């Protein structure tokens, strides 16, 4: 499993991941009822080119995501998380939240913020585990985490995520190319 930043031309795979969420999970993810496929398409299309979407990828499929939205002066980074149902409770949500903190710090955001429904036990547990202060009000829970400035470790963490993604993509390309050569030239093994 690889966690990496999703480039703009792959946004449809993020939309597909969100559309696999059940109606209940869509409600939990966006803290609003009646989230349709069309609403998801419009939501994803509205994310700017430089928007930050971190994804967990397994066999070329987005199985988990964190959308990090920075406000105009980069003071607050709001994060929304989602994990495909069959991949939950394995630490993916926590790992994505940790990566979101790294990316937010590197953009000098002063605070990480998330909003969820107050009965979203998974997200509240996750936020508390990440050290966020959680406040409940009128059926909603708001979580805040003050962020220190970036340091060499956060910068190298973000860089290594990018480098690892490049090597992963290369390995996949090489595998695919090898399979094509093997199919085209029986008896020849591309990797040898
Ligand atoms: C919330 C969500 C992202 C968690 O993803 P996940 O991959 O299952 O989370 P993790 O496996 O990293 O779990 C992190 C912690 O939360 C706890 N947790 C997860 N789901 C829980 C639940 N339903 N009730 C109580 N605790 C829960 C885990 O036990 C774990 O604690 P631990 O570190 O002490 O073991 C996932 O359930 C999801 O996509 N929900 C639907 C969308 C949503 O609610 N998004 C959040 C709003 S932005």
Atom of ligand 1 at shortest range from CA of 87: 7
23 lines ligand 1 (CB under 6 A): no
Burial 47-84 (b: 16+ CB within 10 A, else e): beeeebbbbbbeeeebbbbbbbebeeeeebbbbbbbbb
pLDDT at site 165 = 64
pLDDT at site 192 = 44
Q: For 121-136, how does the pLDDT look when each residue is reduced to its tens digit (9 = 90+)? A: 999 999 999 999 999 9
pLDDT at site 170 = 62
Closest Cα to residue 140, out of 114, 105, 115, 121? 115
| CA 125 to centroid of ligand 1, rounded, Å | 7
93 lines ligand 1 (CB under 6 A): yes
CATH of 2-151, one of 3.40.190.10, 3.60.110.10, 3.40.630.30, 2.60.40.10: 3.40.630.30
Atom of ligand 1 at shortest range from CA of 79: 48
28 lines ligand 1 (CB under 6 A): yes
Report the mean per-residue pLDDT for the chain.
90
pLDDT at site 156 = 92
């Amino acid at each position: 499993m690889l966690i990496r930043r999703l480039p703009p031309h792959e946004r449809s795979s993020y939309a597909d991941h969100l559309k696999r969420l059940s109606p209940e999970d869509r409600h939990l993810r966006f803290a609003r009822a009646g989230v349709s496929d069309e609403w998801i398409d419009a939501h994803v299309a509205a994310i700017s080119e430089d928007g930050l979407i971190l994804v967990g990828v397994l066999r070329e499929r987005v199985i988990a995501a964190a959308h990090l939205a920075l406000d105009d002066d980069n003071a607050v980074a709001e994060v929304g998380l989602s994990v495909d149902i069959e991949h939950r409770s394995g630490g993916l949500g926590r790992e994505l939240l940790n990566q979101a903190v790294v990316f937010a710090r590197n953009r000098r955001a002063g605070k990480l913020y998330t909003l969820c429904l107050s009965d979203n036990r998974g997200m509240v547990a996750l936020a508390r585990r990440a050290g966020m202060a959680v406040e409940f009000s009128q059926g909603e829970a708001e979580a805040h985490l003050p962020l220190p400035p970036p340091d060499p470790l956060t910068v190298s963490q973000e860089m290594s995520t990018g480098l690892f993604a490049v090597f992963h993509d290369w390995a996949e390309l090489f595998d695919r190319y090898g399979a094509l050569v093997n199919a085209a030239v029986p008896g020849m093994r591309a990797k040898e």
